[in-house]
Amino acid sequence: MPSRVFGLLPLLALLVLWQAVSWAQIYPTVLLPPPAKVAAAFVTEYPDIFRNAAASITRVIVGVSLAFCFAVPLGLLIGRYQILDVLADWSIQIFRSVPPISLIPMALLFFGIGDKPAIVLIFLAATWPLLINTIFGVRSIERTLIKVARAARASEQLIFRDIILPSAMPAVFTGLRLAIGGWLTVVTAEMIAVKSGLGYMILNAQLTFRSELIVAGIVVIGAIGLIADQGVRTLRARVCRWQEGLTAEAE
Amino acid sequence: MQFLECRGVGKIYASKAGPVEALRGIDLAASEGEFVCLLGLSGCGKSTLLQLIAGLEAPTAGSIRVGGIELDGPSDETSIVFQDHGLFPWMTVERNIEFNMKARNVPSDARAARAGELLTMMRLSGFATRYPHELSGGMRQRVGIARALTTRPRALLMDEPFGALDAQTRGRLQEELLQIWEHQRTTVLFVTHSIDEAVFLADRVAVFSPQPGRITATVPVELPRPRDPETPRFTALKKELRRMLVPDMHGAALL
């Protein structure tokens, strides 16, 4: 496998391009701050950035955790019992098509300004990928395995715990990655519904013409996204160790 | 009395194109310790019959008795082995072997002890903590057989267990299976489409015909064990079975 360091190349290229554009003075510094100015912002505004990032991350963790606890068990049941699938399918397809961002006005009316609407929104955004992937995971279980369990007269409880859950786990993790990827919902929500967090920080920086703080916020958002995704992948590799060498992805 | 008995068993599936008759009028019995092969071309219903006897599906006609008791779902007296081995990829070999016992609430120390016995018996001792995909096809099927044997079933139901293996591995596993069978004296119902395999293994061969699946002949194999496929009697019996299997083609090169 090629070294992971390769992944830094496009980022370095972007940095060089950014520096070059700044030197060439194509855009005024007020609009496009040079990298050095953004770096300086990290140093001087460090407490502010940290506080807002922590606020955002907390909301994401709470929202995604709630969605996980709700969507995964529900998905296991829907995947296992056809009657629940028939019952839920249309509703899922309808509601998952609604962009969570379009629910911000509703969330504001119900919950006012603060943590609550932001958490509700990320909960809604995270629920769908988790639910749909969990259902898919249960569906893709080899039929023979269920037959083995039935022939052994395994209880429904044992079938859930020892067969359906572990077999759906890789798909659940795919859902989790997508759910965490949806954390931009929180940034959007923070621009409107809350007075803290990275989204709020970015919007506020725009109002005060602090473009270097906007870029700093964007960098932090991207970095958190990368770290979160790596974290989920590592966790997945550990939980689904049995998959090693079984799928092309693990190569 | 026969240990395993099918009387007038039929199975009709509903499909979009209308009902499909998979089995009709199956009469089949196996006495305790008997090795019976169900021989037929693909689509003749032999695997369907095995699923019915395993209690995984219910017949639409007739009745099935295992150990004198009319079947109503899977029986404690039988264990099934599938062609694609049906091992759980997320469980180690050891945990796979323990599964059938776990399903029957055997306490964990007893499970571990019995699994240890079978690991030794199936020559899998060094592989207890491996995952199925780390094993060869032949070893996976040994794990499948070990799992089936843990509960000391009185009948072993085997659905083309060696169908996906290469010839050499297949031959070795056939011999191992016979050793186990001679040692444990379980009844074996063994589905296969290979005439060679049926003549090598069985006390009796039930020959299936398709559309609808039915048994057209039951042929005893009265060859002394261990059997040698090179002997004239072995070859003659193969010829006879081939003629029964594809009567209108006179056993043409098909097989």
pLDDT band at A83 (very low <50, low <70, confident <90, very high): very high
Residues of A in contact with B82 (CB under 8 A): 144, 147-148
Q: List the pLDDT tens digit at each of the 255 positions of chain B.
A: 688 888 888 888 888 888 888 888 888 888 888 999 999 888 888 888 999 998 899 888 888 888 888 888 888 889 999 988 899 999 999 999 999 999 998 899 988 888 888 888 888 888 988 998 888 888 899 899 999 998 888 899 999 988 888 888 888 888 888 888 988 889 999 999 988 898 888 889 898 888 888 888 888 888 888 888 888 888 888 888 888 887 655 544 444
At A172, the pLDDT band (50, 70, 90 cuts) reads very high
- Whether A189 contacts A102, CB under 8 Å: no
Q: Residue B232's CB: how many other CB atoms inside 10 A?
A: 7
Question: Between the CA of residue A35 and those of A17, A28, B50, what are the distances in Å?
Answer: 10, 14, 71
Gap between the Cα atoms of A224 and B157, Å rounded: 55
- Per-residue pLDDT, averaged over A65-85, amounts to 94
A251 in a structural domain: no
Which of B88, B89, B103 comes nearest A153 by C-beta? B103
Pick the residue from chain B with its C-alpha nearest to A245.
B133
Residue B44, domain extent: 1-77+189-255
Give bridge partners of residue A12 from the DSSP assignment: none
Give the domain CATH number at B11.
3.40.50.300
Residue B91 structure tokens:
């469980």
Alpha helix (H) residue ranges in B104-231: 108-121, 137-149, 167-184, 195-201
| ipTM topping 0.90 | no
CATH number at residue A147: 1.10.3720.10
| Alpha-carbon span B127 to B94, nearest angstrom | 8
Name the pTM for this structure. Answer: 0.82
Domain count for chain A? 1
B123 backbone φψ class: left, alpha, beta (φ>0; ψ -120 to 50): left
**Residue A246 forms part of a structural domain:** no
Q: Is residue A101 part of a domain?
A: yes
> What rounded mean pLDDT belongs to chain A?
88
- Confirm whether B52 is domain-assigned: yes
Burial class (CB in 10 A: 0-12, 13-18, 19+), B195: buried
Is B72 near chain A, with CB under 8 Å?
no
Q: Does B234 touch chain A (CB under 8 A)?
A: no
**What pLDDT, on the 0 to 100 scale, is given for residue A251?**
39
Tell me what the mean pLDDT of segment A145-164 comes to: 91
Residue A222, pLDDT above cutoff 80 = yes
pLDDT value of position B255: 47
Distances (CA, A) of B12 to A211, B24, B51, B213: 73, 9, 14, 10
**pLDDT score, position B158:** 93
- State whether residue B175 is helix, strand or coil: helix
The per-residue pLDDT for range A119-128, each reduced to its tens digit, is 888 898 899 9
Number of domains forming the structure of chain B: 1
Pair A225, A183: CB distance under 8 Å: yes
More confident residue, B124 or A75: A75
Of B203, B187, B191, give the one whose Cα is nearest residue B3.
B187
Whether B82 and chain A come into contact, CB under 8 Å, resolves to: yes
In a domain, B233, yes or no: yes
Measured between beta carbons, the chain B residues lying within 8 angstroms of A144 are 82, 84, 86
Rounded Cα gap, residues A158 and B103, in angstroms: 7
User: Are A244 and A70 a contacting pair, CB within 8 Å?
Assistant: no
**Cβ–Cβ contact A148 with B under 8 A:** yes
Of A144, A153, A242, the CB nearest to B86: A144
Distance between first and last Cα of chain B: 36
Look at residue B3 and give its three-state secondary structure.
Answer: coil
DSSP letter string, B141-161: HHHHHHHHHTT--SEEEEEST
Q: How many other C-beta atoms can be found within 10 angstroms of the C-beta atom of residue A146? A: 18
Which residues in B lie closer than 8 A to residue A166 (C-beta atoms)?
88, 90-91
Long-range contacts of B67-71 (CB under 8 A, 24+ apart): B67/B3, B67/B4, B67/B154, B68/B1
**Predicted local distance difference test score (pLDDT) of residue B235:** 86
Indicate whether A124 belongs to any domain.
yes
Range of the domain at A198: 44-240
Q: What pLDDT, on the 0 to 100 scale, is given for residue A249?
A: 52
Q: Which two tokens stand for residue A22?
A: 């700044």
Chain B contact for A172, CB < 8 A?
no
On whether residue B143 sits in a domain, the answer given is no
* Residue among B56, B90, B151 minimizing CB distance to A150: B56
Residue A193 CB contacts under 8 Å (≥ 6 apart), including other chains: A104, A107, A108, A113, A114, A117, A118, A121
Q: Is residue A209 a part of any domain in this protein?
A: yes
Q: Are B132 and B89 in contact (CB under 8 A)?
A: yes
Q: Does A141 lie at the interface with B, CB-CB under 8 angstroms?
A: no
A20 near A166, Cβ under 8 Å? no
According to DSSP, the residues that pair with B38 across neighbouring strands are: B191, B206
Residue B171 counted as domain residue: no
- Closest-CA residue to A134 (of A63, A77, A75, A47): A75
Mean pLDDT of A207-234: 89
Order of all β-strands in the sheet with B20-30: B20-30, B4-13, B61-66, B69-70
Q: Hey, what are A57's tokens?
A: 């991350």
Q: CB contact, 8 Å: A124 with chain B?
A: no
- Stronger pLDDT, B222 or A158, i.e. the higher one: A158
